[in-house]
Structures are given as C-alpha cells and as structure tokens.
Amino acid sequence: MEKMKMHSPDLSQDNIAKIRELFPGCVTEARDEATGKLRLAVDFDQLRQELSDSIVDGPQERYRLDWPGKRDALVTANAAISKTLRPMCEESLHFDTTRNLFVEGDNLDALKLLQETYLGQVKMIYIDPPYNTGKDFIYKDNFQSSKEAYESESGVRDDEGSRLIANPETRGRYHSDWMSMMYARLTVAKRLLKDDGVVMVSIDDYEQSALRKLMDQVFGEKNFVAQLVWEKGRKNDAKFFSVGHEYLLVFSKNVALLREKKEVWREEKPGAREIWEEFLRLKGIHGDDYKSIEADISQWYSELPKKHPAKKWSRYKRVDKHGPWRDRDISWPGGDGPRYDVIHPKTGKPCSVPERGWIYSSPEEMERQIKLGLVEFRDDHTEPPFRKAHIRPIPEETEDSQFGSEAEDDNGDEGDDSDFATQVRGSYFYKQSQVSVKYLRNLMGAKVFTNPKDHEELAKLIDYVTPNDRNALIMDFFAGSGSTAEAVFKANATYGSNHRFIMVQLPESLEQAEASTTGTAKKTVQAAIKMMKKNGRPLVLSEVTKERLRKAGSAAIEGPCDPSWKKDVGFRVLKVDTSNMKDIYYRPDELKQADLLEAVDNFKPDRIPEDLLFQVLVDWGVDLTLPIRRETLQGKTVFFVDDNALVACFDTGITEELVKELAKYEPLRVVFRDNGFVSDAVKINVEQIFRQLSPSTEVRTL
C-alpha cells in the first residue's frame, strides 16, 4: 500500500522536469549536498548556450530586474515544507456548512499548503501588503539579507568590510527585503489563479515602480491590465504635495484568454440599482402582473426628485420577467445585414425587413431570441419588430445580440452595448478613507483598525471582474482588518452572487505591536487589546479580524439581501502548524535503537483525528471546505468527506469486517492509520478487499 508523502510538492524538481522536456541536454544528475541523494539538476552553462545564437563565454548584459536575495526568494518559494493545517472548530463560524476559509499563520506557508488543493481555482486575488516604510517586517523569511551582506553585495563595503561610500543610503536594503518578501508570495499565489484569474495589489508611491516591474516578471508584461488610482482624501499636513492616493496594480494570469472568451467587465451606472430594487419590490406585490408593475414604476419615476440618478433611466418603463426594459433597434449597423423572413405571430406574414438588414446573422438566432422573449413585435407586419434592452443583462443573450448593434446611449451617442445601464470602470476613483474608519468604529464599537480598505469599493471591484462567474473563489493572503472578506459578503448580498473566500492572516501579537508603535496607531492597538480582553479572546490581530467577520456577517444578513444569495457568512478556521507526524517520520536515517518503541506510533501525542483528517485533505488536494460527517461504525470513528469523496478512519484495532463495511460505500478514496489494523494479515488484505468490492477506490495509509 502506498503511503502518503505528507509534505507540499517539491516544485524545483517539477520545474527542472519541464526544462528537460524542452532542453533534454541541459538537465543532468547531481548529488544533493544535504542528503547525498541524486537529484535532477540544470546545467546552466549548457542552457545559456542553448538559448544563445552566439558562443557564450561568460556573463552577458541583459534587461532584467535584480536585487540581493532574489534567487534565495525563488528557492524559498519552490521549496517543500513539512507543515499542516489544523482545524479550529471552536474559533470558526458555521464550521460544518460554510464554504469560506480563514487560515491563520505565515502566508507563504499557507499558500504552499493550499496550492495543490486550489491550483488554478482562484478567480480574484486582492492583497494590501504591508507598505515598505524602511522598518523590519513581521514576515521574517530566511532569504532576507543582513545589512552587512547587502552592503557587501551592492558595493557599499569592500571585502574587508570598510565603507566605500561616505554616507551610504541604506534604504536600498529595505527595497531588497520587501521585494524578496513579495516575490516569493506572488510566485506561489500565481499557481492558485485560474487561467482567466485576476490579481490586484494595493501599493503606495514608494514601491509602486518596483512592484510593477516585479509583477511584470511574475505574471508577464503582456498580462498587465491596468494601474488604478484610489484617491482617499487630501492630507493637509503634507510639506510639498498632498499625496492622498494609492494605486491598484491589476494583472491577469492570461489576458489573451480573457479576450478569447470575450469577457466584458462592466459596472452599473448610478441609479440603475435603485430601479432594479423598485422592480423587485413591485414584483413582490404584483407577481407576474407586469402591466400593474409598469403602471407603478412609471409613477415611481415621475415622483423621483429631478437630481435623482435614476431619473434619467425613465425610458426603462416597460417590464417583463427579465425586469425593466426599453425598445432598441434591430437592424445591422452600417448596412448590408442579412435579409430573411421573420413571420409576425398574429398576421402570419413576413415582417418588413429593416433597410440595413437584421442584426442577427441567421434565422435560427432570430428565432432563439424570439423564444427568449427578447424581440417585441409591433401591431402588424408592416413594420420591423424591435429588440428589448433590459436594464440588466440577460444571460441567455449571445454575443450576436450584444456586439455590432447601433442605438443611442444615455448621452445621445451611438454605442454598442446591449445593456445601457452599465459602463466600463474608470482608472480613477475616489472614496474618502475616513468613511471606512467610521464604519468600522460603529461596527466594532471602537477604533481597532488603522487605515482599513473600504469594503464597499472592494465589493464593486469583485463584482466587476466576475461577470461570468457568480460562484468565484476570492483570496486575500494579507487579510489584515478583513475588508476583503466583508467585501465578499457585501458583493453577494448586493449583486446576488455566491462568491467564496480564502483569507490568510499572521497571528501578530497586539502587545508587541503596542510596544513598538506610537501616536494614533498605538491608541488603535490599545483599543483592540481592550476589546479582545473584554471578549475573552487572545490578543492577536487575526482574532480581531475574525471578530470583525462575525459582526460583519450578522450585519450583512440583517441588511437588504438579494434573494439569490445563500447567506453564507461563516468561515472555517485552519491554523498553520508543524506536521502531525513525529520528526523521526521525516528523518528515519536518524533513528536509533532506543527510539524504535516510540516510532511504532508516528503521530505527535497532542494531535486529534480531525488534525490527521485535514493533513490528509491537504496532502491529497481535496477541497478544505467540503462537508464532513462523523459516524461510529463497529465502535470506530469514521469520517465521511462530501459523502463518499473521502472516507478516513484513524482508530486502531481496525478489523476486516470494518474494512468490508467501508468498501460497500464505494468511496473515491480511503485512508487508514498505518499501524491501525488489528493484525498484519488484515493490513495486507485491505487492498484486495477494496479491489473486489470497490475497485475504483484509492487506498492509502497515514
């Protein structure tokens, strides 16, 4: 029986294997200095020659981004770790039913542990990393160079350690530290993105240019989407200019795929949402009596104040099952469109063909649009019908009906959108920073966060980049105050989506933060400490974040909610921890005779079956939010993950009868404790039993 590897993948070897496929002559074998074992290795001199059209004698100048510690950062990003994620049911909210994750621990470790499970599944990553202020980071990765090492590498000191520059500028060292920290994390995070996924990173002026170059390298220059400017308000204490803005760098994993899929990003224009909400209210009163809804919505338009943003949308006063709509031209833009018969449903005669021809390229597509109720016929066949332009897009419409049409938009200009209540988002937007500060002060009862991101703006961005995926996975591995998670709640409640989130936050000590901060920041930390002591919770930032999510979830459910939202405001808490396996499991070469008795059980004594189950889920790449059912069969505890996706039993004394009973469930996968069988004979027979009763089941031991 094959045993589970119990560590994240060694991606350096995977990358070397890919290079071997392209350049087999550039990959050889080398002995690992640490273990003495043979491993694949790249002959870089040969690889350089393969990629050159001239003889390579030595290092050559090239255009690239470099800094001290860059190579170590990449090694760190690819290196395997022997850690696990432990479930914390008591710290979670709706642990058994939620599809949201809150991971507590170093985000680089967390990303590595999540990468197999969520490889290529995340639609949007938003992060607001710690800005580079020149101070030490909490993320103390082993690739950070010391000040002395940096100065030696960058030429500030000579080989003897003497200064080469009279007044050295040490800020460059902080650039290197920050870049290394970001490089490793973005490299791993990219693996989690869907091919049409998007990453957004908030940043200030100081590291904007460096981050842009770094993201060009990680995601590719061609996948740059936009650099947004988020204006947050004037700073009157500035000496030269009031720099109140930040940036949002937006990259796609594959822009070409987005274009190929013709994914169009749009946001609602002011006033459109109010009309939709009024339609839903009237539908709740009148049901499918659309004539009554039309009469009431016309009255509603007339009673709106003149400056109300919905006033200019009063053209959308006709109503059907898809919502408010207005008529729209059905002819081909520019002329020379197709000409075919469209039969009037009452007269039975062909309708008059528009002078420019039909907008739809074929009679079949025209018929499909008619059946969808998106074509409105006139009283008789003497005039062409017209199309319905709804205030919200109709999913069944094809691009045939959305591109190449000609009509007037709200400014009187010609446009090509089928849905005139939406627009392309601009690269500049304004939201005063104090709005989110005041909101959180009211929500939490105290000012416990400094400079939080506005969750309402983030909710709009989430909805904006997920037009075709209403069940997207959203990730933030610098969760901080939890704005992204609340933004997911807000987007779901407002737009009727059912997005899920994965949040990752380091358990930073509030007491240490209090000792190292001053002024307003210190008062904020003190308020957080006071609140957490009152609630009897640990004094760490991640606990404050979880407290916010509990309150934000309750507020979201109590507020106005789109009926399509399933109201999942829970989160399953997992903590990054050392492996459940004893160290001797990973270093059998260090085993001594005196250790043999202890080595019979390879699990740490403080770990419970749930810990082992989640290590199996991580190692096997199973979704960590799937429902888990715990049952007792023949006196043993058995876990059923998503019914029969995975069955696990970590008890000892497992008999052949229990194995046969589990096989009857025909699980996709089953895992047992390696020393959990009542006898060696039973352990030997396990695979044979499953081969007979459930041949498709994959059997492993832990």
Average pLDDT over residues 374-400: 82
The residue that leads in pLDDT, 77 or 37, is: 77
Of the pLDDT bands very low, low, confident and very high (cuts 50, 70, 90), residue 397 is: low
Task: Of 26-40, 289-303, 555-569, 589-603, give the lowest mean pLDDT range.
Answer: 589-603
Q: Which of 423, 439, 474 is the last residue of a domain?
A: 423
Q: Which of 529, 556, 575 is the last residue of a domain?
A: 575
As a whole number, the mean pLDDT across the chain is 85
**Are residues 435 and 515 both part of a single domain?**
yes
Q: Which of 26-40, 224-238, 644-658 is modeled with the greatest confidence?
A: 644-658
Q: Is residue 508 part of a domain?
A: yes
Q: Is residue 584 part of a domain?
A: no
Of the pLDDT bands very low, low, confident and very high (cuts 50, 70, 90), residue 648 is: very high
Q: Is residue 57 part of a domain?
A: no
Tell me which residue range forms the domain holding 387: 267-423
**Are residues 324 and 454 both part of a single domain?**
no
Per-residue pLDDT, 593: 54
Would you say residue 185 has pLDDT above 70? yes
Per-residue pLDDT, 98: 97
Residue 170 CB burial class (10 angstroms; 0-12, 13-18, ≥19): exposed
pLDDT for 262-286, tens place per residue? 888 888 888 888 998 899 999 999 9
- 600 touches 514 (CB < 8 A): no
Q: What pTM value is reported for the model?
A: 0.79
Helix, coil or strand: residue 598: helix
Task: Of 94-103, 127-136, 373-382, give the lowest mean pLDDT range.
Answer: 127-136
For residue 673, the number of C-alpha atoms closer than 13 Å in the C-beta half-sphere is 27
Per-residue pLDDT, 594: 52
**Are residues 418 and 290 both part of a single domain?**
yes
Of the pLDDT bands very low, low, confident and very high (cuts 50, 70, 90), residue 412 is: very low
pLDDT for 526-537, tens place per residue? 999 999 999 899
**Are residues 285 and 413 both part of a single domain?**
yes
Per-residue pLDDT, 133: 65
Q: What percent of the chain has pLDDT over 90?
A: 57
What is the Cα 563 distance to its own chain's centre?
24
In the block, tokens 């002011």 appear at: 270
Would you say residue 383 has pLDDT above 80? yes
Q: Is residue 227 part of a domain?
A: no
CA distance 258 to 196: 6
CA distance 134 to 174: 5
Per-residue pLDDT, 2: 67
Nearest 5°: CA angle at 464, between 220 and 398? 95
CA distance 388 to 71: 58
Which phi and psi angles does 445 have, rounded to 5°?
85, 0
Of the pLDDT bands very low, low, confident and very high (cuts 50, 70, 90), residue 413 is: very low
Of the pLDDT bands very low, low, confident and very high (cuts 50, 70, 90), residue 38 is: low
Q: Is residue 132 part of a domain?
A: no
* Tokens linked to 504: 């990752």
**Are residues 446 and 565 both part of a single domain?**
yes
Helix, coil or strand: residue 575: strand
**Are residues 397 and 282 both part of a single domain?**
yes
**Are residues 453 and 567 both part of a single domain?**
yes
**Are residues 409 and 322 both part of a single domain?**
yes
Nearest Cα to Cα of residue 40 among 8, 81, 69, 10? 10
What sections of 465-503 are H helices per DSSP?
A: 483-495
Q: Which of 575, 593, 616 is the last residue of a domain?
A: 575
Per-residue pLDDT, 173: 42
**Are residues 559 and 615 both part of a single domain?**
no
- 311 touches 301 (CB < 8 A): yes
Task: Of 45-54, 181-190, 297-306, give the lowest mean pLDDT range.
Answer: 45-54
**Are residues 444 and 410 both part of a single domain?**
no
Would you say residue 139 has pLDDT above 60? no
Would you say residue 27 has pLDDT above 90? no
C-alpha distances (whole Å) from 174 to each of 59, 87, 142, 153, 208 are 27, 36, 15, 14, 14
Task: Of 128-137, 359-368, 402-411, 556-565, give the lowest mean pLDDT range.
Answer: 402-411
Task: Of 118-132, 205-219, 414-428, 529-543, give the lowest mean pLDDT range.
Answer: 414-428
Q: Is residue 31 part of a domain?
A: no
Q: Where are the beta strands (DSSP E) in 405-550?
A: 407-408, 414-415, 422-423, 428-430, 473-476, 500-505
Q: Which residues contact 485 (CB under 8 A, 6 or more apart)?
A: 100, 102, 476, 479, 501, 503, 549, 552, 571
Task: Of 218-232, 358-372, 409-423, 545-559, give the lowest mean pLDDT range.
Answer: 409-423
- Tallying the residues shown for the chain, one arrives at 702
Pairing mode of beta strands 473-476, 323-328: unpaired
Per-residue pLDDT, 378: 94
Per-residue pLDDT, 700: 93
**Are residues 529 and 676 both part of a single domain?**
no
Neighbouring-strand partners of residue 649: 672
Nearest 5°: CA angle at 401, between 400 and 405? 100
- 335 touches 310 (CB < 8 A): no
Q: Is residue 316 part of a domain?
A: yes
The residue that leads in pLDDT, 485 or 163, is: 485
Q: Is residue 346 part of a domain?
A: yes
What's the number of domains the chain is made of?
3
**Are residues 448 and 400 both part of a single domain?**
no
Q: Which residues contact 552 (CB under 8 A, 6 or more apart)?
A: 443, 455, 482, 485, 486, 489, 569
C-alpha distances (whole Å) from 41 to each of 27, 74, 308 are 6, 16, 67
Would you say residue 125 has pLDDT above 90? yes
Would you say residue 565 has pLDDT above 90? yes
